[in-house]
Each structure stands twice: as C-alpha cells, then as structure tokens.
A and B are shown apart, each in its own frame.
Chain A
C-alpha cells in the first residue's frame, strides 16, 4: 500500500511523519504548481471551491508517482469539505484511476467507524502505537506553526529581503527531517532563533534600516489574516499573500494556524475538556454580527476580526475561495464590523483565475490606506474611537434569536489564551 494525501501548506510534513511512523509507505504529491492546478481545474466541477480543484491536481500527481491509496478527511456539513471525498472519488473513477480512498469521518457519538479505518490503514497496529504516532505528528505540526509565526514577525524587519524566508526554509527542512520529538524540538528552537536573527540587524539598531518599512517608520503595520483555513494556509492558493505583505513592511498574523484548527476541531474542544475554549471566545466576539455558526470558518472570520480590532490591529484581510458559502456570509458582515469598530478590512475571493498583478495592486492600495490612516491617527486628524459596541438586539426588536442558546457578553475583554512558545502577543490578549 502506497499512501498519499492532498497538500495544504506544510501539512504534508505532519501527515508524512504520522503515516511513516506507522510503517506505511508514503508518496508525497509534487508541490502545487500551475501544472497540477491545470489538471485539477480541468476535471473538477466549475463551481466547486478552489481547494477541491487543487486536491485533484495533487492526487493525479501522486498517483502518477505510484500512490494507490488516498487518505482524506470527511465531515458532517454544512461546509462542502464534508463531501469532497465523494466528488473526488467520482472524478478519479471517470479518469480511470484505480486509487482507493480511505475517508476519515469525524466520529459521531461512537468511534468504532474511525477506529476501523485506522486499523485498516495500519494493518491492525495496537492503538497505543497509533497514539504515539499522532503525538509525534502533533509535535511537528506545532513546530511548523511556530516557525511560520516567527517568519511573519521577522519579515517586515529584515534588512535584506528574503533572508528570513531562506532561514525559514532551512528550518522547515530540518523539522521535516527530525526523527523524534526531542529532535523536533531542538530543530524548532534553532530554527526560530535563526529566523529571528534575520531581522535582528534592523531591530538591534545596527543602522541598517529594514528594507520593507517606509522611511522613518520603526514599527510595522499589523494586519490580521482571517478566512478559510486552506486558502490561508496554502501559499500557492493565496498567491503568497503573507510574503507579499511582509515585503511591504507589514507584520501579518494568521488567525487560524492548522495546529489551532486541530486543537479546536479534533481534541480539546470536541471532548469539551476546556470550558472557555477559543471557539467560545470567537463566538462571543462575533455575536453582535453573526448569531449562529455557518459552517467552515465563517463565524471565525467575523469573530477574529472583532478580536483583531480590540487588539489594535491596523487592518484585516479576509481570504476565501470563490463560491465559499460560509465566507460569503462573513464577507456580507465584515464591512459593518469595519464601520462599527474602525477596522479597515478587505475580502479577497480567490480562484484559478486570480491574477498576480491584480492582487498586488489591491494589496498595495490597502497597505497604503493603512499607512495613511495610521499617520492621521498619530497627528490626531482622525480619531480611532470606534462606535459603541453593538448589542445583539438593538434597533430591531427581536434580533435575539429564539431558542438560540446562551449569548456572549461582548463588552467584556477576552481572557488570555495560553500558548507555549512565542510570547503572548500572538494569543488573544484583552486590551
């Protein structure tokens, strides 16, 4: 059995680690490229969302390298991801590929179906062995996200563009190679230090200014990125949004790292071990605007934007694949969030037709706007005071949804959200 899976950013390292630790032969698909995308677009339904098309390109590339089994996640809706596997199987079948697809569905009340799939994949390895592999995979996932966090923090400060990026690439390769949890930790610590060192010269006052920052500016603009998890995590899909912004002198924060997603969706919160989970905080922040989950990351996009504004960010960029349903809800609400809280935001709906130059123009315009706004705020020409916070039921009388469950107290500051590693400014700090 030669196992493969779809790409999403650096997630392949984690998945490869887990599967190989379980003794499976893994075929990593070629990195997404124009070529793999073309294959995906040609065979996928026109209005399917972008990640599905990219996945098809990955599968075809991997099958041609010899893979015969595809591991894919399922879902219970209402986001389309839950039916990806069925559609992708149909497409591969019509293309004449014999690959088998193993779909890992989230357990609904009982774990037996999921365990059966895992047993099938691993050839009846004991469960403790599986847990050990998952633990190792989690370490790599968390490490990679730490490296990404260090990178986006350093990029706007680097005197020579690209140095932080190459340090990051070397660190990722080291983490990918690491053969155990301890080795992964060591590689991560060395990697974070190397990446941060790439920005030191400017911050340390060596006289050489950061290349990306406008003259006379010392602190980079801070922009939060919210949106659909695949589009945020896959640089090929979002046309390297984080690098572009970083090179314009913007410090980017991603609302949702894959490790957060796993944490929220796969363990702690699903098992209700944590009472004030990240999900609750985000839901409360979003409640004046959106009173119900809408699948995918729609509610998170709204809630995280509100949280960014509380943390004094300069702006928010919202990224989603074209036709994404949950994010269409979010994009309908974000302009109002921006007006209320004085938070400039921009929605980017991306797909295979998105042009490089068009995106660059929009980003430059947005960053210019943020820079001018910050200057005006500094001189007092504009006042940052946002409109008073909205309550869930103002103006119209019955906005409080009936039988809608408990409501958040959106006036209260967020409690700190603990995180290991890179300092608390990456977490949710109340102002």
Chain B
C-alpha cells in the first residue's frame, strides 16, 4: 500500500468515474489527470431508468434526482473497476461553494452503498489557499505513488484539457463534442453561437440550470432533443464564458454563493438583457435547495423587468414523459404564435 492509505494502483489500473453531477463540469480534467498518471479511466454507462431506480433505493427520499443518479452510477461501477474516484468538490471558484449535498457526498455514499471498491477521495476547495483543483490534484498524484514532477505534469495536462473543454462549450458545442475535442487536444471551434442568427426566425430558447441537468439526457428526459424537435434552437447557461458570468455577477448587490447558481443567475440576466433568446426554461431538480432561491429571484426579476416567456420545469424520478412533452409543446406553440404576431421579432 502506498503512503496515505491509497491502494496500490499499478500501471494501467482502471479508475471509475461516475457519470453524474460534476462529471459534466470536470470530466476532461479528471481524464487527462489520470491518463497522464498512467492510469486508465472508465466512465459509467449513461444514466438509465434502472440506474436511477437502483440509486434511489440506497439514497434517502429527500435527496434530489441528480444525487440519486450519482448513487446509481457508483453502484454501476462496482466490480468493474480497480478503484472509484469520488472527489469532494467543495468549491470551484473563490467565494462560492458547490452544494451542501456535494460536500457530504463521499460520506453519504460510503455509509449507504455496500460492496464498494476502494475509493479515492480528495477535497478540492478553492476557498482555501493550497487546496484548489491544481494543488489537491498534485497531492492526489503524489498519494497515488507518482513523482512530484509527474503529478505536476498531470495537473497541467488536466488544466489544458479543461480549458479547451470550457472554450468549446462557450462556443456552443455539446458536452460530448467538447469532451472529445478536449481529449484529442484539438483547437476550439471558431464559430460562436452568439453570431449565428437562427434561420427562418426559429425561436431561440435558453435552457438554464445545473450542468448535470442540462447535459444528462437520462436525468432531463432528453429535454434538449425534444426542444429541437419542436423547432427551437437551444442555447444553455453553460455557453456563457467565465468572464461573462463574472461581469454579470459582480453587478449584483450580493453575488450568489453557489457556483452553478451564480452562473444560472448571470445567464438569466445576460440572456434577458441582450435579447439573445426568445424564451427561457429553467430546469430544476425537485427539492433543489440552491435553485429554489436562485430560480425565485430569476423568475420574479424576469417577470417584472421583461416580457420574456419564462418557464420553470421541475424534474424528479417520477416525472412522466408525457407530462413533460405537453408542457414543452405548449411553450413552443406559444413562442411560434408570438413569432407570427410580431413578424419574427418576438418583441
């Protein structure tokens, strides 16, 4: 056993990454990090109905759908990998936190899921000096028995992939494509969604919410594809650059202290103000704490200050496909009617 109590993982050992929650924000970083450390990475299969159900059985009722899905993904990785990686991501940005449930997640998993493979846990906390993504990443590499130089190289590769991934997302590329671009080390697409006008005056709909709700079709019941099928062009809150988020956020009397809440709030403000979109959908997990606050401020502000159509869509493991489709169709119909009435300007 190597120092720090981490199991000895030889060259080519497989580390499992649960495809849930912050996977949708940090996957390229983890992947580049572990691969540079001569380890292999296996991602659990896409979220399915069965997987959510198996997770929901182990989780407490009060937990939200994405957390239940995370349980399911960890359970799906059992017996398939040499170790499972469960980062405790406390903060990704100074002055913000992720979510209390994510802070306790590794402990919740440990005490509620049996037959776990060895787990690699590390606390990533940008609010504390020397505990950030990079510093803890180096410490993790060292604890996995690698040299300091190799660990630093791994973190550098991780950041390079992460930056490429984020720039691709900001240009309007989907999660899968952005992750693939980052993995191949290719350049960022030059076309920017902000410059592209929609053909035929198709309505442009902003989908705002947590990355794991926007990007996981198993959790959001394939919402993005359904919207596209209704003739809507979809832009998401993940398509704003960090700089845009910072500018919008600092203009607020009090910045939101949840990192994704901060992004959601900034996206709502920016989309609304600049007329970048013709309608807005906020996708919320049932009983989501941060979104109950952020969503309320966003909705009230939007109603008061603009005529932009706004819909809050709540999802959980009981959400029926037909009900969701009906609501989306009604929303899209309303947008198309608006287009006809206003001659394509939606204003």
A residues in contact (CB < 8 Å) with B: 45-49, 74, 76-80, 82-84, 86-87, 90-91, 93-94, 103, 105, 289-296, 298, 322-326, 328-329, 331-333, 335-336, 349, 393, 396-404
Give the chain A neighbours of B83 by CB distance below 8 A. Answer: 398
Do A48 and B293 have beta carbons less than 8 Å apart?
yes
Do B293 and A298 have beta carbons less than 8 Å apart?
no
> Can you list 12 A-B pairs with a CB-CB distance of less than 8 A?
A45-B296, A78-B103, A80-B290, A82-B257, A90-B296, A292-B104, A298-B100, A329-B107, A331-B62, A396-B116, A402-B121, A402-B139
Check if B254 is an interface residue, CB within 8 A of chain A.
yes
Partner of A328, one of B4, B7, B62, B295: B62
Do B295 and A45 have beta carbons less than 8 Å apart?
yes
Tell me, rounded to whole Å, the shortest Cβ–Cβ distance linking A51 to chain B. 13
Do B104 and A45 have beta carbons less than 8 Å apart?
no
Give the chain B neighbours of A397 by CB distance below 8 A. Answer: 1, 5-7, 118-119
Tell me, rounded to whole Å, the shortest Cβ–Cβ distance linking B58 to chain A. 9
Interface-central residue, B7, B112, B254, by most chain A CB under 10 Å: B254
Partner of A400, one of B5, B97, B125, B286: B5
Do B103 and A293 have beta carbons less than 8 Å apart?
yes
Check if B101 is an interface residue, CB within 8 A of chain A.
yes
Do A402 and B136 have beta carbons less than 8 Å apart?
yes
Check if B288 is an interface residue, CB within 8 A of chain A.
yes
Do B135 and A333 have beta carbons less than 8 Å apart?
no
Partner of B143, one of A74, A83, A295, A402: A402
Do B100 and A294 have beta carbons less than 8 Å apart?
yes
Do A328 and B60 contact each other (CB < 8 Å), given the known contacts A76-B257, A292-B103? yes
Seed contacts A294-B104, A329-B108; 15 additional CB < 8 Å A-B pairs = A47-B291, A48-B296, A49-B292, A76-B257, A80-B289, A87-B293, A295-B97, A323-B288, A331-B60, A332-B111, A336-B112, A393-B5, A398-B5, A398-B6, A404-B123
Binds A, one of B194-202, B220-228, B297-305, B327-335: B297-305
Q: A84 vs B62: C-alpha distance in the bound complex, in angstroms? A: 21
Query: Which residues in chain B, 1-41, are within 8 Å of chain A measured between CB atoms?
Result: 1, 4-7
Check if B140 is an interface residue, CB within 8 A of chain A.
yes
Partner of B88, one of A325, A336, A401: A401
Do B122 and A78 have beta carbons less than 8 Å apart?
no
Check if B99 is an interface residue, CB within 8 A of chain A.
yes
How many residue pairs link A and B with beta carbons under 8 A? The number is 180
Contact-residue size bin, chain B (C-beta under 8 Å from the other chain): 35 or more
Give the chain A neighbours of B258 by CB distance below 8 A. Answer: 77-78
Interface-central residue, B83, B286, B289, by most chain A CB under 10 Å: B289
Do B100 and A399 have beta carbons less than 8 Å apart?
no
Q: A295 vs B131: C-alpha distance in the bound complex, in angstroms? A: 18
Do A323 and B112 contact each other (CB < 8 Å), given the known contacts A87-B296, A94-B304? no
Give the chain A neighbours of B103 by CB distance below 8 A. Answer: 78, 292-295, 329
Check if B90 is an interface residue, CB within 8 A of chain A.
yes
Do B98 and A333 have beta carbons less than 8 Å apart?
no
CB-based closest 9 A-B pairs: A329-B104, A77-B257, A78-B97, A325-B100, A47-B292, A402-B122, A45-B296, A336-B111, A325-B289
Give the chain B neighbours of A289 by CB distance below 8 A. Answer: 107, 111
The interface bits of chain B over 122-142 (1 if a CB of A lies within 8 angstroms of the residue's CB, else 0) are: 110100001100011001100
Check if B59 is an interface residue, CB within 8 A of chain A.
yes
Give the chain A neighbours of B122 by CB distance below 8 A. Answer: 401-403
Do A292 and B88 contact each other (CB < 8 Å), given the known contacts A77-B97, A329-B104, A393-B5? yes
Give the chain A neighbours of B325 by CB distance below 8 A. Answer: none
Give the chain A neighbours of B297 by CB distance below 8 A. Answer: 86-87, 90
